[in-house]
Structures are given as structure tokens and as C-alpha cells.
Amino acid sequence: MIAIWGETFVSSKVLLGAGLMPADIFLYRFTLAYIGMSVISHKRMFSNSFKDELMLVVCGITGGSLYFLTENMALKFSMATNVAIIMGITPLLTALLLACFYKDERMNARQLLGSLMAFGGLVMVVLNGHFELHLNPLGDVLALGAAFTWAMYTLFVKPLSRRYDARFITRKVFGYGVLTILPWYWIVDPLNANVAILTQPVVWGNLLWLGIVASLGCYLTWNWVMPRLGVVKSTNLLYSQIGFTLILTSTILHERVTWMAILGAAILISGMVMCTNTPPGPTQTGLKDL
């Protein structure tokens, strides 16, 4: 799943080059994913309570519309290097947020050290031998906002996964993600459905990949995996996404890879192993249940 998410950077870059806007890519991929999930999970329409339904709306915003908007807008105002490094704090931010609510999701010293090592390796991979960082307050804040929204998504999905099937949760996230992106087109930037662009094989091929595989398949897998591995361990595995992106950008987009990136990848993997191969402690009850 993470290997596929690492590839989505390449597909998104191809679609942006073909003339699609960031919000359009999100709308098309989540609409395709919702249609696909409706075929798989269609018997149940609503959750057990208004509170749970509201939490699913929040998941659709934090794991969908707001997350993708803030990340893609950050790329417009800041360097991709800045955005990648700031987004790299997502596992740490998630762990800190979860520690406020759940005792069983608190990192021990080994996991914290491993997470810091993985983040350091990620920074080396992203820099790739170029030591240039140009601060842009707006872009950098937007990137930090994207990291925070994904952390919020994992926080709200955790209690929902105890009460509902992963297929139901995933379908609702896609549906509310699509609904909450629509005001963007009404208030900010109207949708320009250019048929000439959408009928290009490279465009609809990448959209199908992003919608059916990277969204439907991966979100379903993510929502199924998290309650079984634990949110902190699952999120720490996201560090490896940059490694897959590095391999794919070098082979498909022919971007140069330096020794610094290779060394950073080795440190990243070592830190990630420390995070995920920690013996589990005694099961504890969450301090609060959303």
C-alpha cells in the first residue's frame, strides 16, 4: 500500500503536466473510488448515531478534501523540498496527538529514537545533495496543516474502526471527501471539465490508477491495517513512502539520485525498523474515546 502511495507523486505530476488542477485530480480520483466502494459496500447507508456520522464527515475532510487541498496548495507557494520535509513529521505529529488520548498508542524510547532517525533519513533523501531551503511562511504553514489533518484523520478513524467495517468507513470517507470539496469550485475556482484532456489515454489511465488502486484499494487497506498494527506503528511505516518515491522518480522521471539520498534511505529504513519491531507492552485502555 505504501509503495503504491509512493508512486502517486509520479501519477499526480503527470496529470498536472497534462493540464489538470490539483483539486480536479482529487475530485476525479475520489469520485471513482466512491463509485467502486459503493459496489463493494452498499447495504448500509448511515452509521449508528449522529455523533459517529459527524466523525465520518470529519474523516472525509481530514483524510480527503482538506488534506489534499492543503498539500497541493503548499506546493504552489513553497518548494517541493520544504513540503516533503514538513510532511515528514506526520508520524511524530500523529504519535504526539494520539498520546493525549490513548495510553496504548504512546511511543516508548526505542520507538521515539527510531522515529527521529527515520525523519533524519527522510530529510537526507529529500535534499538529495542539494542544501537549499527557502522559507515561505504561507506554503510551509499549509504543509504543516496537511500533516496535522492526516494526524487528525488517524485519530478519528481509530475509534470508528472498533465499531464499523473498514469497507463502510472507507466508502463514507470518499463520499464526504467529494461533498466537502464541492464548495471549493463554487467559491474559489470553478471546475473546468476539459474533455480533450480527460480523453487522453495517459490522463484517464492515471486517474483510474489513482482512483481505483491508490484510493479505493489503499484507503481500504489502511483502514483495515491500523486497528491491527496500531496507529503509531502503521503511521511510522509511512516513512518508507519517500524511498519508493525516490526509486520511481529516478527510473520514470529520470531524476538524479545522489549518495546522500542513498545514505538517507538506509538511515530511514534503520529507524523505521526500530519503530516497528518493538515488543508490544501490556494492553491498556484509551484515556478518552472520541
Q: Specify the higher pLDDT residue, 183 or 121.
A: 183
Q: How far is CA 83 from CA 1, 119, 153, 227, 262, in A?
A: 22, 14, 19, 28, 20
How many whole angstroms separate alpha carbon 238 and alpha carbon 236? 5
pLDDT tens digits along 204-240: 999 999 999 999 999 999 888 888 887 777 877 777 7
pLDDT tens digits along 274-287: 666 655 444 333 43
How many whole angstroms separate alpha carbon 243 and alpha carbon 98? 26
User: Given this model, what pLDDT does residue 281 score?
Assistant: 47
Q: 78, 143 in Cβ contact below 8 A?
A: yes
pLDDT tens digits along 15-56: 888 888 888 889 999 999 999 999 988 788 889 999 999 999
How many whole angstroms separate alpha carbon 197 and alpha carbon 82? 30
User: Given this model, what pLDDT does residue 113 score?
Assistant: 78
Crossing angle of the two packed helices 259-276 and 109-127, in degrees rounded to 10: 160
